Amino acid sequence: MADETSVLNFGCRLNAYEGEAIRGLLDRLGRDDVVVVNTCAVTAEAEKQARQAIRRLRRERPDARIVVTGCAAQVNAAGFAAMAEVDHVIGNREKLGEAAWRGIGQDAPRISVGDIQTDTPPALPAVSHFPGRPRAYLEIQQGCDHRCTFCIIPYGRGPSRSLPLGAVVEQSRVMAARGYREFVLTGVDITSYGHDLPGRPTLGQATRRLLDLVPQIERLRFSSLDPAEIDEDLFGLYAEEPRVMPHAHLSLQAGDDLILKRMKRRHSRQQALDVAARLQALRPGIALGADLIAGFPTESDDAFARSAALIDEAGLAFVHVFPYSPRPGTPAARMPQMPVELRRSRAAELRSRAEAALDRFLGSRIGSEASILVEQQGLGRDETYAPVILPDRMEKGSIVTARIAAAHDGKLWLEAA
């Protein structure tokens, strides 16, 4: 039987979901000889880490069949197939069906990567649990119709396709029956959900229906939200639905209008600030996260300063900082590039500001009563997604209520029992 080490996932929650689907397929086929590396293509560093992992796995598992899949494999199949350690490369569409896995080691082609640019809805194998994880991921959407100039993911995932709500409901009920209490709706561009479904339901409308139909869902989160696509029902859920956690991660990328245009983003700096302010007004105490890219091509000192200032002006708490990484085949890779050291230094400055912003937010939680999902021994996350140090005796996957006494080292601490 495929164990927890049979699939190594890199990157996003979508890969985490699909990695469990792959593990289930391997179980059904009895392929305990296969090790899968499910790659990410967001940055050059992510691809580098996958290659390092492949070499390490070959040393550790010399007799295993090493299969590479995921976004980096989709966009650079030949490059991975050229690695002596790799037995097979499987594309993002093919990895979710039994056919590609059944013939591995027999008559399967070394490279099985088809055209990802299809409107066919994703056919997802059932996933009933996530070993080692306290929350359940629900894939509701695949692909992206937008073409941000820095992003390779549409080439690895194809166009936006939504999973019918009935399938999402069925999957969530299976996971709830396994004891999961917190769920995360995930995809590549989940705020585009529903445009390809009958009646064109929005993400907010579909989420309302999901919560109505599956009352066992106690806590619900969303993966990254595009500020240009948040619909009125979704805003309403943050205001009215206590099961939607007071936490939103926004796909911002930059805080300067010219850079946003060159990135081909669909929001302005002011629109980002307006969305942040509206969420904070609708849900006092909400924690906002964001992605920011440092050193995008042509980024001037003033443009960088406006991105840095966005952290405080938008009241961000959790900021993911990425030094710009050119991805071959994207328009931004052909733009005038900033020096690598400048990208790194700007990323370091953004991280320093982000740490200060997180400290302020965590400080605001002191004295409050928190509802905490226990993630592992000694650690959990409260409703705002803030990390909380816990007594070791608390059961993984349980939800506990406790008062916050202190904040330091980027975490919350409880009052002594």
Tell me the pairing of strands 7-9 and 34-39: parallel
Specify the pLDDT at position 125. Answer: 64
Specify the pLDDT at position 113. Answer: 81
- pLDDT per residue of the chain (417 residues) written in tens, 0 to 9: 445 568 898 988 888 888 888 888 888 888 888 999 999 988 888 899 999 999 999 999 999 999 999 999 998 989 999 999 999 999 888 888 888 888 787 766 778 787 777 666 556 666 767 777 889 999 999 899 999 999 988 888 889 999 999 999 999 999 999 999 999 999 999 999 999 999 999 999 999 999 999 999 999 999 999 999 999 999 999 999 999 999 999 999 999 999 999 999 999 999 999 999 999 999 999 999 999 999 999 999 999 999 999 999 999 999 999 999 999 999 999 999 999 999 999 999 999 999 999 999 999 999 999 999 999 989 999 999 999 999 988 888 999 999 999 999 999 999 765
Specify the pLDDT at position 1. Answer: 42
Specify the pLDDT at position 2. Answer: 47
CA distance 232 to 124: 29
Distant-in-sequence, close-in-space partners of 58: CB < 8 Å, separation ≥ 6: 64, 66, 85
* Cβ atoms 198, 29 nearer than 8 A: no
Run of H or E including 142: strand 141-142
Specify the pLDDT at position 26. Answer: 87
Tell me the pairing of strands 379-382 and 387-389: antiparallel
* Cβ atoms 295, 262 nearer than 8 A: no
Specify the pLDDT at position 36. Answer: 93
Q: Say which CATH topology domain 7-112 has.
A: Rossmann fold (3.40.50)
Cα 201 to Cα 34, 196, 209: the distances in Å are 40, 9, 10
Specify the pLDDT at position 122. Answer: 58
Q: Which residues of 33-55 are buried (b: 16+ CB within 10 A; e: fewer)?
A: ebbbbbbbbbbeebbebbbebbe
Q: Which residue has the tokens 């492949």?
A: 54
* Cβ atoms 339, 347 nearer than 8 A: no
Per CATH, the homologous superfamily of domain 136-364 is tm_1862 like domain (3.80.30.20)
Number of neighbouring beta carbons within 10 Å of residue 395: 10
For CA atoms 21, 27, 30, 35, the dihedral sign is positive
